[in-house]
Structure 1
Amino acid sequence: MNAIISASDLAVAAAAAPAPVLLDVRWQLSTAKAAGAPAFDGRAEYEAGHIPGAVFVDLDRELASAPGERGRHPLPDMAEFGAAMRRAGVSFGRPVVVYDGGQGWAAARAWWLLRWTGHPDVRVLDGGLAAWQGPLSTDVPVPEEGDFVPAPGASGLLDADGAAALARRGLLLDARAGERYRGEVEPIDRVGGHIPGAVSAPTTDNMLADGRFRPAEDLRARFKTLGADDGGEVGVYCGSGVSGAHEVLALAVAGIPAALYVGSWSEWSSDPARPVAVGPDPQ
């Protein structure tokens, strides 16, 4: 099953019965608070207009636990995550389509969590809300309670030790911007740089100018150039497990399975005992 869906295909699916469950996960990574500017409000954006029938999901509160030693967006409590998904109408027997404002990072986080916890049919709207050509609604639906109960997978998730080991034996991709990987700037976390052995692979390079994913064959070629071939193990991390989920989604579009280090650099760099590499090379 393709991990993404076009806006035109979603319009057809939304008019069919049963229509997919639609989750609106608008969110932005922002340093606005430090600058004194108002923070992005995903719920307000949702209430101003969303795809008809979509339910808002709060990334910070429903797709992550509170920030701390495990990173800025650690895994959510599974009972709370399951309850949030059931409130949104998510059930095992009904497909789910997730979208955000267009960047795709937040939608990918929801996609990854639902897939990792056992939902069989989840896709991300390619290009996000900006790609949607249909009407928008300000009605806030109250869906029928779903039956989804998370069952975390035995694979697909890395911790700090697992990420370090994978960087040595396989391929660990760093989805952040190149300047953060190289340690030239670090606007959010304690220190800049990367996990020793990780390869720089900004997730923004997986996208077309209009916010949609590059064709699958282009993505396969890109990841092969980075070292993802011959069925070897692949893992991804980013700043806090959000843009990294987007790279895992891009890998899925390319037909390459990958694990996500959810704690990512925000967890790794919080411990001064963990090694930090800087510069353009993995080591």
Structure 2
Amino acid sequence: MDDIENTAVLKPTEPSPLIGVEELAEELAGERPPVLLDIRWQLSAPGAASGQGGSVGAAEYALGHLPDAVFVDLDRELAAPPAGARGGRHPLPDPAALGAALRRAGVRADRPVVVYDGGPATAAARAWWVLRWAGHQDVRVLDGGIAAWRAAGQPESTEVPAPAEGDFAAVPGGLPTLDGDQAAELARTGLLLDARAAERYRGEVEPLDPRAGHIPGAVSAPTFENNAEDGRFRPLAELVARFRTLGVDGQPVGVYCGSGVTAAHQALALAVAGQRVALYPGSWSEWSNDPRRPVATGAERG
């Protein structure tokens, strides 16, 4: 966790990891357009945790997508197979396999990448985080996703592009991560945010994982409270105020969720606000599958 020590406190990131519709349209018409990746995916889809969420996204992609966008399957290409107590439902992908998938999509080390989903940027944030973790230096998320693009009257296509092979090689370490022991330590000595819905944090319901509750010492911070009603991220001042209320105040910060997807959304919102965080990729799906790990319930940190 050394690389998240003594980070700047809520100093807005420049350039922002978000991009709006008008700015993206201008860049796509320019001399150096970004690579577009479509990451539509549904956690609620039957079998999503075992590879079916991406099939829903692929079907939506076939009906219409941003011109020249390439579909990337979150379950199969941005994650390794589910691994229970040794990685959770969405373990980090094998770097060699990830690099190969991204090269097929035309990703190059020297060319910017813009990722989007159907909103509210949960899957796109996972792609942003994984690419940044793998070493890509220029990745942004389309704020509001394809819904915002359509609302602005921008063009779509049903043609499947055939991009030239990219040259990107995944080198892990671009963003900090936590294992279970480090997450437990950070909950005691720093700030560990739980990005799941509040009722899952409290242990009232658990639709996906074997035990209900939260990591002792973690703070409830539902990730979708980062979004406005239109699916875009809330204004910067509101994000900064939210994270200060949650206790972001100069100490090391970590985040987890159910399987490392919505935690990436939280990490993205924190990055917009200027806070570097470590993500626990195994998250609750790994923690709750390990009988040695303690579980807290209720509204308090425990």
Q: Which TM-score band applies after superposition, normalised by the shorter structure?
A: over 0.9
Partner of 1:18 in structure 2?
A: 32
1:216 to 217, 236, 244: 236
For residues 264 and 117 of structure 2, the distance between their equivalents in structure 1, rounded to whole angstroms, comes to 14
Shift of 1:154: 6.5
Partner of 1:252 in structure 2?
A: 271
Shift of 1:33: 4.9
Q: Which amino acid aligns with 1:277?
A: A
2:188 to 168, 184, 192: 168
Partner of 1:186 in structure 2?
A: 206
Moved over 6 A (4+): none
Shift of 1:32: 3.5
For residues 197 and 83 of structure 1, the distance between their equivalents in structure 2, rounded to whole angstroms, comes to 39
Q: Does 1:27 align with 2:41?
A: yes
1:145-199, Cα deviation, whole Å (9 max, x unpaired): 1111111117511111111111111100000000000000001100110000000
Partner of 1:278 in structure 2?
A: 297
Q: Contact 1:236/1:261 (CA < 8 Å) preserved in 2?
A: yes
Q: Does 1:203 align with 2:203?
A: no
SS in 2 for 1:151: coil
Q: Does 1:237 align with 2:256?
A: yes
Partner of 2:7 in structure 1?
A: none
Q: Contact 2:132/2:174 (CA < 8 Å) preserved in 1?
A: no
Q: Contact 1:31/1:188 (CA < 8 Å) preserved in 2?
A: no
Q: Contact 2:123/2:261 (CA < 8 Å) preserved in 1?
A: yes
Identity of aligned residues (%): 65
Q: Does 1:266 align with 2:294?
A: no
Give the structure, 1 or 2, with the largest relative contact order (CA under 8 Å, sep 6 or more).
Answer: 2
Q: Which amino acid aligns with 1:14?
A: L
Partner of 2:123 in structure 1?
A: 106
Q: Contact 1:97/1:123 (CA < 8 Å) preserved in 2?
A: yes
For residues 269 and 173 of structure 1, the distance between their equivalents in structure 2, rounded to whole angstroms, comes to 16
Shift of 1:215: 1.1
Shift of 1:117: 1.4
SS in 2 for 1:232: coil
Shift of 1:232: 1.4
For residues 199 and 237 of structure 1, the distance between their equivalents in structure 2, rounded to whole angstroms, comes to 10
Q: Which amino acid aligns with 2:161?
A: P
Shift of 1:68: 1.6
1:15-43, Cα deviation, whole Å (9 max, x unpaired): 11111000000001116359xxx966111
SS in 2 for 1:64: coil
The gaps in structure 1 that reach 5 residues or longer are none
The gaps in structure 2 that reach 5 residues or longer are 1-14
Partner of 2:18 in structure 1?
A: 4
Partner of 2:88 in structure 1?
A: 71
1:90 to 107, 122, 128: 107
Partner of 1:81 in structure 2?
A: 98
1:143 to 141, 163, 166: 163
SS in 2 for 1:44: helix
Q: Which amino acid aligns with 1:64?
A: A
Higher mean alpha-carbon deviation, 50-59 vs 146-155, is at 146-155
SS in 1 for 2:114: strand
Shift of 1:103: 2.0
Partner of 2:10 in structure 1?
A: none
For residues 183 and 47 of structure 2, the distance between their equivalents in structure 1, rounded to whole angstroms, comes to 31
Shift of 1:260: 0.6
Q: Which amino acid aligns with 1:209?
A: E
SS in 2 for 1:97: strand
Q: Contact 2:223/2:266 (CA < 8 Å) preserved in 1?
A: yes
1:62 to 77, 82, 85: 77
